[in-house]
Amino acid sequence: MLKKQYLMVPGPTAVPERVLQAMHRPMINHRGPQYEGMFRSISEGLKKVFKTENDVLTFPAAGTGAMEAALVNVLSPGDKVLAVSIGAFGDRFAEIAARHGAVIEKLDFEWGTAADPARLAERLTQDKAHEIKAILLTHNETSTGVTNDIQALAKARGNHPALVLVDAISGLGAINLEMDAWGLDIVVTGAQKALMIPPGLGFVAMNERAWGAQAEAKMPKFYWDAQNIKKSLAKWQNPYTPPVSLLYGLEESLKLMEEEGLENIFQRHQKLRDILRAGLKALKLSLLADDAVASAAVTAVLAPEGMEGKKIQKQMKDRFGITLAGGQKKLENKIVRIGHVGYVAETDILVTLACLEMTLQTLGIPVEYGAAVKAAERVIMEG
Amino acid sequence: MLKKQYLMVPGPTAVPERVLQAMHRPMINHRGPQYEGMFRSISEGLKKVFKTENDVLTFPAAGTGAMEAALVNVLSPGDKVLAVSIGAFGDRFAEIAARHGAVIEKLDFEWGTAADPARLAERLTQDKAHEIKAILLTHNETSTGVTNDIQALAKARGNHPALVLVDAISGLGAINLEMDAWGLDIVVTGAQKALMIPPGLGFVAMNERAWGAQAEAKMPKFYWDAQNIKKSLAKWQNPYTPPVSLLYGLEESLKLMEEEGLENIFQRHQKLRDILRAGLKALKLSLLADDAVASAAVTAVLAPEGMEGKKIQKQMKDRFGITLAGGQKKLENKIVRIGHVGYVAETDILVTLACLEMTLQTLGIPVEYGAAVKAAERVIMEG
């Protein structure tokens, strides 16, 4: 049976047709005025998405590369770092810093919950000597489908001088984040989530405090050197050859985001989350995250008792063309993750729920056909 | 709210990504060996879809142009033509012939029903003098969602010498039709239905009897002259400049059809029809055609009492991005037509039904959310 493909993973996400079209253009000289005009418009557009007046630096790299760039630009070996982790990507942020010689202190929260700002404040208050140089935060934890309250966590810093570094890779552009208003020192994101382009670009924005730290930081770097990027950016250029077609795509996706409106995009993602969760609950499935902290970009649902999550993924893909993500690390096979970030519409959620009903029934989990879709339609029509 | 677009009309239909990709290639010389190789492969591939050993002639034109080409190549002004019509496209076939001076006798059947082979046989038996030179048949009547039993209708000709001309524009490649085995003299189709490419190409296949009539036919023609096309086809060329990018697309779509398999394609269309009809019935909507003659390519559903069909179309499009077709001529505003021909999957039907539930509710027709989807899922899982 002919199937259409639905990429319901939390990245890379579906790329809009207009973006694909835009990418399908001949190469141009990345040292010429045409490129400079485009890169200027992109760099200014990115500031709006970051809600910042600071420069947004573009790195041809995966999001993980941009996380590394953020760390090595403001830290020195031996610096103490407080890594707040609520999942696999929080752990990764800490691990990268450790690999470069930072001394890591973890502030861990149970997977599926959000970080508690009070516990962060408490720990920082204890640090009278201001040994902690940086606080690592995750905006949206992709591995568990939980969104942290970054505003509250940043506020918990109080007068402590540590820098706040935020991995906003899977959330920025889908879930509100205000770099300047919330006083975030460094914000990192990637291309293949809410920015709706194929993977291959990472972004780092640094405020004045971060640039101050950058001047002193001793972790070795060449490709990640933010000074280099900033110098080229002043001429609307890149120090090393940029992936031109991805930038064509980004120019177009920023236009799409401008047309839809950032606040509308945030509302859409919340609505998609609410529709999906209502449907999943109607199937009596358990959700990993509480409603209060549930991500608007990705939803983690527990596999029914005694069933491997992979079986659900396989049936959804093989029979219906719907790609879901599995659990990572300690959640492997225990959860299935449904991405709904970027170019996702209500109809994608309806299809996913209808096919999940049939998939569960096929796998021996009795469900009432139509029950999830019914609950989802109710939420759609409330709005 | 961001919407994705679902083109659920009976043509032009959605074009598969692989076909769009294939069309996005530089122009080549249509008198060179590269083009000839491609056109040969296309022309041979088309024969399989027509289930014929006869040449399939390609006309750069809409399907209606190919209908005209079929008529003017085998008829002379003053020729008597028996036009079997079950809807708007049957009427059009007759009108084209009349415009060129044929004397038309209509054999009309109520819109929403199929043509009765017994009535055709009866009329032909009365024609002792063999005045009737051609019988015009519609394979799949797009305006009503009814498929004629072409095999039985062709058989009804018996020993009468009239040519059988079949408009198979919206059915060929989606619903079985066997040109040679059923003794059809001329079969016409178009590009933008089951062949899954954008509009712009029409196709006419003629058997030996038709070519015999062609040699005698006196209706004036230049562009439609089948001899011209046939002569060029012998060199795998076209007499006049062909739309090269559409042929790129057709080459790819024929590959897709070969990969899926023609019989599998027919079964898929039947299944899509059955899924859709089960869902519509669950919403207590009336269907124009009986199950026994219901088209596997397009379904006509009656608008609820007192509601204009256009209102449903508008809400489906504006709120959910789903384009449906309206009624034509005397069925205007009385029915809504849902196309499911070509590049259509079960998930498209599920989305259409879910959004139709919400649309009807919005328009004041009370429905049970999920009811149509539930019925559809049952049919999907039966298979």
pLDDT at B56: 98
Going from the C-alpha of A40 to that of each of A46, A177, A229, A238, A253, the distances in angstroms are: 10, 22, 13, 11, 15
Q: Cα A289 to the chain's mean position, in Å?
A: 17
Distances (CA, A) of B380 to A354, B268, B289, B293: 11, 11, 21, 21
Name A143's bridge partners: none
Note whether B189 and B195 are within 8 A (CB).
yes
Question: C-alpha angle with apex B230: B227 to B232, nearest 5 degrees?
Answer: 110
The DSSP letter of residue B111 is B
Strands (E), B303-366: 322-323, 325-326, 335-339
- Could you tell me if B301 and B112 are in contact, meaning their C-beta atoms sit under 8 angstroms apart? no
Q: Which of A24, A265, A374 lies closest to B369 in CB terms?
A: A374
Q: Is B361 on the interface with A (CB under 8 A)?
A: yes
Helix, strand, coil percent values for chain B (each to nearest 5): 45, 15, 40
Nearest CA in chain A to B347: A351
Residue B186's pLDDT is what? Answer: 98
Report the candidate in B102, B347, B46 with the shortest Cα–Cα distance to residue A322. Answer: B347
Please report the sign of the dihedral spanned by the C-alpha atoms of residue A281, residue A284, residue A287, residue A291: positive
The confidence band for B113, taking pLDDT boundaries of 50, 70 and 90, is: very high
Three-state DSSP string of B149-166: CHHHHHHCCCCCCCEEEE
Q: Which residues pair with A140 in a beta bridge?
A: A147
Cβ atoms B242, B30 nearer than 8 A: yes
Q: Which band of pLDDT confidence, cut at 50, 70 and 90, is reported for residue A64?
A: very high
Residues in chain B closer than 8 A to A320 (CB atoms): 346-347
Interface A:B, Cβ pairs < 8 A: 106
Q: Is the peptide bond before A12 cis (omega within 30 degrees of 0)?
A: yes
- Half-sphere exposure of residue B102: CA atoms within 13 angstroms, side-chain side: 31
Beta carbons of A369 and B377 less than 8 Å apart = yes
Give the integer Cα–Cα distance in Å for B289 and B277. 10
Name chain B contacts of A358, Cβ cutoff 8 Å.
Answer: 377, 380-381
pLDDT above 80: residue A383: no
Cα angle value A20/A25/A28 (rounded, 5°)? 135
Q: Which residues in chain A (243-262) have CB-CB distances under 8 A to chain B?
A: 260
- In B, which residues are within 8 Å of A3 by CB distance? 345-347
Chain B residues with CB inside 8 Å of A357's CB? 377
**Within 10 A of A244 (CB to CB), how many other CB atoms are there?**
18
Interchain contact, B374 vs A369, CB within 8 Å: yes
What the block records as the tokens of A325 is 């993500």
Interface test with A, best of B320, B347, B359, B380 (most A CBs within 10 A): B347
A377–B362: do the CB atoms touch at under 8 Å?
Answer: no
Note whether B345 contacts A1, CB cutoff 8 Å.
yes
DSSP string spanning A90-126?
HHHHHHHHHHTT-EEEEEE--BTB---HHHHHHHHHH
Percent of chain A whose predicted confidence (pLDDT) is above 70? 100
CA B269 to CA B262: how far, in whole Å?
11
For residue A377, give the nearest of B4, B370, B381 by CB distance.
B370
- For B197, the token pair is 């490419």
Nearest CA in chain B to A260: B2
Instruction: List pLDDT tens digits, range A251-301.
Output: 999 999 999 999 999 999 999 999 999 999 999 999 999 999 999 999 999
Cβ of B320 within 8 Å of Cβ of A373? The answer is no
Closest partner CB to A381 (pick from B321, B345, B358):
B358
For residue A314, the tally of other CB atoms under 10 A from its CB is 15
Strand partners, B323: B7
Q: What pLDDT sits at residue B90?
A: 98
Helix, strand or coil for residue A188?
strand
Global model pTM greater than 0.90: yes
Indicate whether A242 pLDDT > 90.
yes
Q: Is the pLDDT of residue A20 over 90?
A: yes
Q: Is B271 on the interface with A (CB under 8 A)?
A: yes
Q: Is the dihedral of CA B87, B92, B97, B103 positive or negative?
A: positive
- Determine, for residues A345 and B260 on separate chains, whether the beta-carbon distance falls below 8 Å: no
pLDDT given for residue B305 in this prediction: 92
Distance (Å) of CA A283 to CA A367, A368, B236, B286, B338: 6, 8, 58, 31, 30
Tell me the shortest Cα–Cα distance from B322 to chain A, in angstroms.
10
Contact in structure between B203 and B49 (CB atoms under 8 Å): no
Residue of A320, A321, A354 with shortest CB distance to B373? A354
Min Cα–Cα distance to chain A from B341, Å? 12
Residue by residue, DSSP assigns B34-95 as: HHHHHHHHHHHHHHHHHT-SS-EEEEES-HHHHHHHHHHHH--TT-EEEEEESSHHHHHHHH
Q: Does any CB of chain A come closer than 8 Å to the CB of residue B348?
A: yes
Residue A365 and residue A304 in contact, taking contact as beta carbons nearer than 8 Å: yes
- Residue of B1, B24, B381 with shortest CB distance to A346: B1
pLDDT given at position A48 = 98
Of B3, B368, B378, the CB nearest to A369: B378
Q: Can you tell me the distance from the alpha carbon of A371 to that of B371, in angstroms, rounded to the nearest whole number?
A: 9
Question: Per-residue pLDDT tens for B321-368?
Answer: 999 999 999 999 999 999 999 999 999 999 999 999 999 999 999 999
Q: Which residues of A touch B4 (CB under 8 A)?
A: 345, 347-348
Please give the pLDDT value at position A24.
93
DSSP state of A180: T
With residue A146 as reference, give the H or E element that holds it.
strand A146-147
H-helix segments, chain A: 17-23, 33-50, 63-74, 88-99, 117-126, 150-155, 208-216, 226-233, 244-260, 262-282, 309-320, 346-362, 371-382
* Lookup: tokens for B234: 């012998």
Kindly identify which residue of chain B lies nearest to residue A347, measuring between CA atoms: B351
Whole-number Å distance between alpha carbons of B92 and A312: 51
Instruction: Give the distance from residue A195's alpha carbon to the nearest chain B alpha carbon, in angstroms.
Output: 15
Q: How far is it, in rounded angstroms, from Cα B41 to Cα A192?
A: 39
Cα torsion through B350, B353, B355, B361, rounded to 10: -150
Contact B348 A24 (CB under 8 A): no
Distance between A21 CA and the closest CA of chain B, angstroms? 10
Nearest-Cα residue of chain A relative to residue B282: A370
The model's confidence at residue B62, banded by pLDDT at 50, 70 and 90, is very high
The answer to whether the Cβ–Cβ distance between A381 and B371 falls below 8 Å is no
CB–CB contact A380 B358 (8 Å): yes
Q: Could you tell me if A364 lies within 8 Å of chain B, comparing CB atoms?
A: no
Answer yes or no: is pLDDT of A134 > 90.
Answer: yes
Sheet holding B298-302, edge to edge: B298-302, B335-339, B325-326
Q: Which residues partner with A24 through β-bridges?
A: none
CA B79 to chain centre: 26
Spell out the domains of chain A, with CATH numbers in brackets.
Answer: 6-13+261-382 (3.90.1150.10), 17-258 (3.40.640.10)
Among A354, A349, A356, A346, residue whose Cα is nearest residue A383 = A346
Mean pLDDT over each residue of chain A, to the nearest integer: 97
Cβ atoms within 10 Å, residue A26: 7
* 3 state DSSP class of B123: helix
Chain B neighbors of A380, CB-CB under 8 A: 358
Considering only CB atoms, B354 lies closest to which of A268, A362, A373, namely A373
Please tell me if residue A374 touches chain B, with a CB cutoff of 8 Å.
yes
Q: Which of residues 11-40 of B touch A (CB under 8 A)?
A: 24
Tell me the residue type at B167: D
Q: Are A19 and A197 in contact (CB under 8 A)?
A: yes
Using one digit for the tens of pLDDT, what is the confidence trace for A195-221?
999 999 999 999 999 999 999 999 999
- Angle (CA) A277-A189-A149 rounded to 5° is 50
CB contact (8 A) between residue A350 and residue B355: yes
Strand, helix or coil for residue B322: strand
CB atoms within 10 A of CB B318: 11
On chain B, the residues whose CB falls within 8 A of the CB of A378 are: 369
Residues in chain A: 383
Whether chain B has a CB inside 8 Å of the CB on A240: the answer is no
Looking at residue A369, its pLDDT comes to 98
DSSP state of B303: P
| Beta carbons within 10 angstroms of residue B160's beta carbon | 18
Find, among A3, A32, A15, A2, the residue nearest to A242 by Cα. A32
Asked if B1's CB is within 8 angstroms of A268's CB, the reply is yes
**pLDDT tens digits, B174-219:** 999 999 999 999 999 999 999 999 999 999 999 999 999 999 999 9
Percent of chain A topping pLDDT 90: 100
Confirm or reject contact between A274 and chain B (CB < 8 A): no
Say yes or no: B358 contacts chain A, CB-CB below 8 A: yes
Say if residues B143 and B329 touch (Cβ distance below 8 Å): yes
Looking at every residue in chain B, the average pLDDT score rounds to: 97
> Are B135 and B162 spatial neighbours (Cβ–Cβ below 8 Å)?
yes
B269 falls in which pLDDT band (50, 70, 90)? very high
pLDDT, average across residues A110-117: 98
Q: For position A39, what pLDDT does the model report?
A: 98
Test the A interface: residue of B365, B373, B381 with most A CBs within 10 Å: B373
pLDDT band at A78 (very low <50, low <70, confident <90, very high): very high
Q: Do B355 and A351 touch (CB under 8 A)?
A: no
% residues pLDDT > 90 (chain B): 100
Is A337 a residue whose pLDDT tops 90? Answer: yes
* B96 to chain A, closest Cα gap in Å: 37
